Amino acid sequence: MPEVIKRINQRFTHSHIGKGLAFSSETVSVSIMWLFTCSALIGISLGYADWFIPKTPLNLLVCLVLLFINIPLISNKSKGVFIIAFIVGMLVEIAGVTSGQIFGSYKYGNNLGVKILGVPIMIGVYWAVLVIVTSQIAKSFFKNIFYVSVTGAFLMVGLDFLMEQMATSFDFWYFEGGIASIKNYIAWFIVSFSLQLLAYRWVQKINSHFSTHLYLNQIVFFSISFLLY
């Protein structure tokens, strides 16, 4: 994927149209990301949610690739943060689904792809992506580790709150009683805050602009989906 985007940039730059206006990898990445989201929202608004929503794992994979392009995790520590966030995310979700004690009693549907012990692998990926992205955003506002970590955790919980409004309709996951309790958000904050502390120390600020786009992309998708349904 990085090579494809690089070639597109080179061809555009050397074309007559592209003279004097070279697209960066970030510009192409952001455009692709918003194109996917806008297409999905248009499709959902036209009544094709049953076709678009099952493609969610593909959209998450695209976001993952674009993340690696724009926020290259070069150092071993930064790679470690991503891996640890993925593993912690998966383990805490598996424990949550199995016990019903961490986030409340819930189970996953079928639209998030392949599962391990009842938890979609993409949920672990989503945890890792969100930790990196929200940490980058928080670091653009604060320098202090506590403020950065708290802000990043709140950003993650805020997005989770929006997702909860559409989770059942999109066959993502189902809470007993049809709604997530306060326990879910408290647990999300605690786990998120712990991972944010690690990201603060091990992942330097690289690209808060792309991170902001990726985060807002998710906010816009779930907010408009809520209005459409």
Joined together, the tokens standing for residue 82 give: 């991503």
Cα–Cα distance for residue pair 36/19, rounded to 1 Å: 27
Cβ count within 10 A of residue 89: 23
**Single-letter amino acid code for the residue at 102:** I
CB 214 within 8 A of CB 60: no
Express each pLDDT in 166-212 by its tens digit: 999 999 999 999 999 999 999 999 999 999 999 999 999 999 999 99
pTM score, two decimals? 0.88
CB 71 within 8 A of CB 206: yes
Residue 62 buriedness (CB in 10 A; 0-12 / 13-18 / 19+): middle
Q: How confident is the model at residue 229 (pLDDT cuts 50, 70, 90)?
A: confident
Express each pLDDT in 84-120 by its tens digit: 999 999 999 999 999 999 999 999 999 999 999 999 9
CB 152 within 8 A of CB 199: yes
pLDDT averaged over the chain?
A: 91
Q: In the chain, which ranges are continuous DSSP H helix?
A: 2-14, 25-45, 49-52, 56-70, 76-99, 121-139, 145-167, 182-202, 208-228
Q: What is the pLDDT of residue 205?
A: 92
Joined together, the tokens standing for residue 130 give: 């969100």
